[in-house]
Structure 1
Amino acid sequence: MTRTNTTEITNSLVLVAKSANSFDNRYVSKAFRDLGALRRRLTAPALAAVVARTYPVGATKTYLAAVVGEGDVDMEAEEASEPLPEVDAYVHLLVQLYLLDTGALAALDAFNVHVVAQLRAHNRRTLDLIAAKIWFYVARTYELRRDFVSVRPALQTALRTATLRHDDETRAALITLLLRNYLLTHDVEQAANLVGKLEFPEALASNALVARYFYYLARIHAVQLDYSRAHEYVTAAMRKAPQSVQTVGFQQAATKLNVVIELLMGDIPEARTFTADAALERSLAPYLTVTRAVRLGDLQLFEECVAQHAATFQRDATHNLVMRLRQNVIKTGIRIISLSYSKISLRDICIKLQLDSEESTEYIVAKAIRDGVIDATIDVQGFMASKEIVDVYATTQPQAAFDARIKFCNLVHNDMVKAMRYPTSTNRVDLKAHLEASDKESQLLKALQDGDLDDGFF
C-alpha cells in the first residue's frame, strides 16, 4: 500500500513539474483530478518516502519529515536536487491534507505558517492553481478552529498580492474565502463592500470557484431583500457547479437557498425540485413542508414546521430567510380568502388566519392591497370587498414571464460560448504552409475572375 501511494504521488509530482516547465496548467488540473482518490489513501510512510526522494538534505526536508513522521523509510536516500517551487508547493499541499484528515489541527495550524511563508518566497505564475488550493485549506483550518477573525488579515494581504501578480485562480479563491468568512460571522455589510470594491475574474477562474462566488452573492442579496438578483445568482451557481458526486453537498445547499428565495419572491417551486433524487428529497423535506404551508396559506402549519426544523434551518443558514416567509403565508391566505368571498369581515379573516387582532388584520389586508397581492377594498364597516377578477392575459404578466425566460436562455447561450475552447496549433511550419497555400489559392481565384491566367502564373 505504501509503495502504491508513493508511486501515485510521484506520478502527480511529474505532472506538476511538466506543467511548470511547459507553462501549461492542464497537467496540474490532471493531477488535481486524481487528488481526491489519492487523498483517501494518504499515509505517513508514503509521504515520508516522497519527502526523502524529493528534497536534498536541509531544513525543509528535516521539517517535513518531522511533521509527517519518518515511519520505516530510509531517510538517507540518494541525494536529490532542489525541487521546483511548484513541486515543493504540491508536497506541502499533500501534507496539509494528511494533517487535516487525521484531525491534527494544532499541528496543521503551525504548518500553515510555514506553508504561507513558502508561498510568499516565490513569484511564479505556474504556482497559481496550487496556491489557490493551499489557501483554501489554510482558511478551512481556521474555520474548524472557530477562529474566523484572525485569518482575515492574511487572506486580505494574499488577495492584494495575487491581484498585483494577476494570479487569477488564487485571486478568485481568496475572494470566495473572504466572502464565506464574512457570511459565517454574519458580516453581510462587509461582504457586500468587498463585492462592490473588487472585480471577480469570472472569465478566468474555474467553474467551481465561479459557482461558489455566485452562491455567496445570492446569499448577500437575499439578506438585503434583493430577491430577483439573488434568484439569478443562485440559479447561475447551480448551473455553473460541476455535476459530480463530490458536489452533491453544494447542490443541496444551493437548492435549499433557491427554494426559499422563490418562496420569498411569491413563486412556488416545481414539485420535481424536491424529488430529483433520494438524497435531495431527504434533505429538502423541511423545505417541502414550508412550501406546502406557503402554498396553502396555513399559518399554523408554517409555525409548526419552523419550530420542528429550527435546528436544520440554522445549520443551513436559512433560518432568518424562512422566518420572513410568515408574511408570505399570510398574504397567500388573504389571497385565497379574497378569491373565495366577495365580501368578508376583518374579524372573520382574523379568525381564519389566526392573527393577533382585528387592527393587525386591517393593516395586513391594506398592505396586501397596496402591494397588488389582492384586488379589493376595505369599507368603513370593517369589511373587505373583492373586486371582479381580471383576466391575467389582459395584463403584462405573461409578457414579463416570457421576457424572463428569453433572458435566461440568452444567458445560458452566452455562458456556453464563453466556455468554448479551441486547440492551439503547435506546429508553426504547418501553419505557415497552410497560410501560403490559402494565399496562393486566393490569387488563383482572382486570376480566374480577371481572365488574365496564363502559363506563367505557375
Structure 2
Amino acid sequence: MTADVQMKDTEPHPAAPAPAAAAAPAFSTLHHLKEIASVIEAGSLSKEVRRISRAVRLTVALRRRLAARDVSAFLSFALPASSDAYARLSALLPKAKTCANASIARLKNLNRRTVDVLASRLYFYYSYVYELTNSLAEIRGNLLALHRMATLHHDELGQETLLNLLLRNYLHYNLYDQAEKLSSADICSTWAKLGQFSWSTLMLKESLLQAARKAPTSALGFRIQCNKWAIIVRLLLGEIPERTVFMQKGMKKALTPYFELTNAVRVGDLELFKSVADKFASTFSADRTRNLIVRLRHNVIRTGLRNISISYSRISLSDIAKKLRLDSKDPVADAESIVAKAIRDGAIDATIDHANGWMVSKETGDVYSTNEPQIAFNSRIAFCLNMHNEAIKAMRFPPNSHKEKESAEKRRERLQQEEELAKHMAEEDDDDF
C-alpha cells in the first residue's frame, strides 16, 4: 500500500507537506484504507487468496485521490507512534524510490501464496517509479532475479507480471533481440507484450489481436496500443489492415497516423511513405514504433513493384526506378536488384531481360489453379481452431466445483466482488500502462 502512494508523489506537482504538518485526510479515504486492511488481515489469517485479490481491487478506486497524508493518518491509526515499524514506514513516505526498494527487499524474504497478489502490484509500482524517473535500466538485473525467484516459488501471477515488466523494460530501450530471447524462454500467451517480440512466427499478429479483443472496453488506451502494434506487424508481414480497424469507436484520432501510413504502403508510393513518416515522426517516436516503420520501406517498394508488374506486360528497368522513385546513385542497378529479389521470393511472376534491360511480366492465369485459395481457406480454419483452443483454456473452475453446490453466502460474496470489479473498471479510462 505504501508503494501505491509513492507513485502518486512522483508525478509533477508541488511537493506534499511533511506528514506531521499535513491536513487531516478525508474520512472516506481513511475509512476505505481501514476496510482494505481488514480484508487483507482476514485473508492472511484464513489463507484465502481471493480476499487478498478483493483488497487489491478496492485500491483501484483510491489510487487517483490517495496522497501521503492519507497513509500517514492510517499509520497513526494502525501502529503505536513509539513503535519501530511506525518510525520506519513514516520515514519512507516522502521517498518514492527508497520505499519501492524497501518493499522489494522485504518481498525477497517472503514465500507465502497469500502475498503473491500484493507482490505483483508492488512489482508493477517498483518498475513504474523507475520509469517515471527515466532509470529503468538500473533495475533490469533485479527484475530478472525476481522473475527467477517467482519461478522457483511457483508464483504464476508474479511470473506473468515480471515478464511483462521485463519486456516493457527492453521495449523502452529498443532492445528487441534481448526481448525476443526472453519471450522465447518463457510463455505468456495472452498479453500484448509477447506479441510485440515474437518476430519468428505469425503468433506475433495473433497475440496482439487476441489481446485487443480480450481487453475490457474501459481499457481504451491498452486497446489502442494493441491495434497500433498489430497494424505495424501486419504491414511488415505484407498484409493490409481493413479500413474498419481505423474506424473503431474512440480510436479514429489516435490511429490516423497509422491509417495514412497504411495507405502509403498500400499504393506503394515511396515518396508518400517518406512524407507520412516525417509528418508523424514525433507520434511514431512517442509510440516507440519508428524503428519498425523504417523497416516498412522495403514493403513499400515491393508493393509498388507488384502494382507495376500487374499494369505492364513489359517495362524497362529505368522506368521502374522512376516509378518507384529510387533516389540512389545507380537507380537502374538498384531496380534490377529489387526485381530479381522479388522474383526469387515469389512476390511477382516475371522475368528479367538483361540484354534489353526489361522486366517481362507473365500473364496471370486462373487464380483457382494456384495454391492461393487453399492458403486462404487454411488461414481461416487455423483462426477458428485457435479461437476454440483459447476458449477451452479460459474455462477454469475451482477444485471440486462439481462435487459441492455454491452456498447462498458464497454466491452473494462472489456477486458483490464482480459488481465491485465492474464498478472500479468503469472508473478507469485507461490501463495501468
Letter in 1 for 2:124: F
Aligned residue number for residue 299 of structure 1 = 270
Aligned residue number for residue 239 of structure 1 = 213
* Aligned-partner Cα distance in 2 for 1:186–1:143: 15
CA-CA distance at 1:134 after TM superposition:
0.2
Q: 2:194 aligned to 212, 217, 221, which one?
A: 217
* Aligned-partner Cα distance in 2 for 1:253–1:32: 25
Change (3 A) 1:291 1:65: same
Alignment check: 8 A CA contact 1:15 1:27 kept: yes
Aligned residue number for residue 50 of structure 2 = 26
Structure 1 position 260 matched with structure 2 position 248: no
Query: Superposed, which structure 2 residues align to 1:300-319 within 5 Å?
Result: 300-319=271-290
Aligned residue number for residue 152 of structure 1 = 140
CA-CA distance at 1:424 after TM superposition:
5.5
Residues 20-29 or 129-138, more deviating? 20-29
CA-CA distance at 1:219 after TM superposition:
2.3
Q: 1:8 aligned to 12, 25, 32, which one?
A: 32
Q: 2:117 aligned to 108, 129, 143, which one?
A: 129
Aligned residue number for residue 117 of structure 1 = 105
Letter in 1 for 2:305: I
Aligned residue number for residue 425 of structure 2 = none
Q: 1:46 aligned to 37, 62, 70, which one?
A: 70
Query: Superposed, which structure 2 residues align to 1:280-359 within 5 Å?
Result: 280-356=251-327, 357-359=331-333
Amino-acid identity (%): 38
CA-CA distance at 1:425 after TM superposition:
6.1
Letter in 2 for 1:260: I
Letter in 2 for 1:36: V
Task: String of CA shifts for 1:361-403, please: whole Å, max 9, x gaps.
Answer: 1111121111112111111201111111122222222222222
3-state SS of 2:247 partner = coil
3-state SS of 1:385 partner = strand
CA-CA distance at 1:114 after TM superposition:
1.9
Task: String of CA shifts for 1:70-91, please: whole Å, max 9, x gaps.
Answer: xxxxxxxxxxxxxxxxxxxxxx
Query: Superposed, which structure 2 residues align to 1:410-425 within 5 Å?
Result: 410-422=385-397
CA-CA distance at 1:129 after TM superposition:
0.7
Indicate the structure whose relative CO is greater, using CA pairs within 8 Å and at least 6 residues apart. Answer: 2
Task: String of CA shifts for 1:144-183, please: whole Å, max 9, x gaps.
Answer: 2222332123222222222221111112211221222122
CA-CA distance at 1:211 after TM superposition:
3.9
Calculate the aligned-residue CA RMSD, in Å: 2.4
Q: 1:169 aligned to 150, 154, 157, which one?
A: 157
Change (3 A) 1:392 1:169: same
Alignment check: 8 A CA contact 1:162 1:170 kept: yes
Unaligned runs of 5+ in 1: 69-103, 203-209, 432-458
Change (3 A) 1:188 1:337: closer
Letter in 1 for 2:148: R
Letter in 2 for 1:323: V
Task: String of CA shifts for 1:273-303, please: whole Å, max 9, x gaps.
Answer: 000023x111111111111111111111111
Change (3 A) 1:298 1:400: same
Alignment check: 8 A CA contact 2:270 2:325 kept: yes
* Aligned-partner Cα distance in 2 for 1:227–1:282: 30
3-state SS of 2:351 partner = strand
Structure 1 position 60 matched with structure 2 position 37: no
Alignment check: 8 A CA contact 2:147 2:159 kept: yes
CA-CA distance at 1:221 after TM superposition:
3.0
**Larger gyration radius, structure 1 or structure 2:** 1
Aligned residue number for residue 429 of structure 2 = none
Alignment check: 8 A CA contact 1:274 1:281 kept: yes
* Aligned-partner Cα distance in 2 for 1:178–1:124: 23
3-state SS of 2:216 partner = coil
3-state SS of 1:151 partner = helix
* Aligned-partner Cα distance in 2 for 1:253–1:144: 19
3-state SS of 2:138 partner = coil
Q: 1:186 aligned to 161, 166, 174, which one?
A: 174
CA-CA distance at 1:248 after TM superposition:
1.8
Change (3 A) 1:33 1:372: same
Change (3 A) 1:427 1:316: closer
* Aligned-partner Cα distance in 2 for 1:395–1:289: 32
Change (3 A) 1:153 1:376: closer
Change (3 A) 1:377 1:261: same
Unaligned runs of 5+ in 2: 1-24, 407-433
* Aligned-partner Cα distance in 1 for 2:277–2:236: 15
Change (3 A) 1:427 1:65: farther
* Aligned-partner Cα distance in 1 for 2:66–2:91: 16
Change (3 A) 1:228 1:196: closer
CA-CA distance at 1:428 after TM superposition:
8.4
Residues 44-53 or 355-364, more deviating? 44-53
Structure 1 position 35 matched with structure 2 position 7: no
3-state SS of 2:213 partner = helix
Alignment check: 8 A CA contact 1:211 1:238 kept: no
Residues 128-137 or 158-167, more deviating? 158-167
Change (3 A) 1:388 1:249: same
Change (3 A) 1:376 1:30: same
